[in-house]
């Protein structure tokens, strides 16, 4: 089967899309969306198909394979191979979700069904690592944004403070961000109008491939 760890920043926290089981086993506990793999189906095709029952799949800006498990003992007599995907949804979009489905903070997960909890944490950790050496931010940020907004996304996803000043410089130097030339007018309290930026490319790119041991010139 395939499972989806779909993450989004909402209300200042990194959240995961979960689904409350109404039937045994693990009734009342929360599970990752997903389902069986149809014969002849591609893994990515399968997870896209199952996710489309929960969210508008076009909202998923990035999707990558996370891990595969085949642990015995999920339930006695039950044993299944499950491939988990990591999906990222940009800030601000609100895909309507079914009534049994909700966004839970990854740092305060509800009681989880099966062994889905560790998969969520693996997805979070993968995201955090990639934020430092790639342009994955594009999949969490809206199309255009101010640096303050981008900073909030990074703070929520990384779980620690980030300086907008330095975030700007790092991402500009790496060529990940480009200014749009447009500005956003300030709120009621006043303030200088914020520059609007966008990600230069909206597909995954490694921007800092070799921290050390890089090839000689």
Partner DNA sequence: ACAAAAGTGTTGTTACTACACCCATGG
Partner DNA sequence: CCATGGGTGTAGTAACAACACTTTTGT
Under 8 Å between Cβ of 66 and 119: yes
Query: Cis peptide leading into 25, omega within 30 of 0?
Result: yes
d(CA 76, CA 149): 47
Is residue 9 a contact residue for its own copies (CB under 8 A)? no
82-89 and 2-10 beta bridge pairing? parallel
Is residue 107 a contact residue for its own copies (CB under 8 A)? no
Count CB neighbours of 125 within 10 A.
Answer: 12
Is residue 86 a contact residue for its own copies (CB under 8 A)? no
> Which of DNA, its own copies, none has residue 68 at its interface (CB below 5 to 8 Å by kind)?
its own copies
> Which of DNA, its own copies, none has residue 205 at its interface (CB below 5 to 8 Å by kind)?
none
Is residue 162 a contact residue for its own copies (CB under 8 A)? yes
- H/E segment holding residue 171: helix 164-173
The count of chain residues that interact with its own copies, using the rule CB under 8 A, is 38
Angle 22-25-28 (CA atoms, 0-180°, nearest 5)?
A: 40
Is residue 52 a contact residue for its own copies (CB under 8 A)? no
Question: What is the smallest separation between the CB atom of 159 and DNA, expressed in angstroms?
Answer: 15
Where along the sequence are the contacts to its own copies (CB under 8 A)? Answer: 37, 39-43, 46, 65, 67-72, 79, 81, 83, 129, 131-133, 154, 158, 160-163, 167, 170, 208-216
């Amino acid at each position: 089967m395939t499972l989806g760890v779909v993450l989004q920043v909402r209300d200042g926290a990194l959240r995961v899309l979960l689904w409350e089981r109404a039937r045994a086993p693990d009734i009342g506990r929360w599970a990752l969306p997903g389902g069986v793999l149809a014969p002849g189906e591609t893994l990515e095709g399968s997870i896209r198909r199952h996710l489309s029952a929960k969210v508008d799949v076009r909202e998923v800006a990035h999707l990558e394979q996370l891990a595969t498990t085949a642990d015995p003992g999920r339930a006695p007599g039950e044993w299944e191979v499950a491939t988990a995907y990591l999906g990222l949804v940009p800030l601000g979009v609100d895909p309507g979700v079914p009534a049994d489905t909700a966004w839970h903070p990854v740092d305060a997960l509800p009681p989880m069904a099966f062994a889905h909890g560790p998969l969520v944490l693996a997805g979070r950790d993968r995201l955090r690592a990639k934020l430092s050496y790639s342009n994955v931010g594009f999949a969490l940020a809206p199309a255009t944004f101010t640096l303050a907004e981008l900073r909030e996304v990074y703070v929520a996803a990384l779980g620690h403070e980030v300086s907008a000043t330095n975030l700007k410089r790092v991402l500009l130097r790496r060529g990940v961000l480009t200014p749009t030339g447009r500005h956003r007018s300030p709120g009621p309290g006043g303030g200088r109008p914020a520059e609007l930026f966008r990600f230069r490319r909206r597909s995954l790119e490694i921007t800092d491939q070799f921290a050390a041991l890089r090839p000689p010139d």
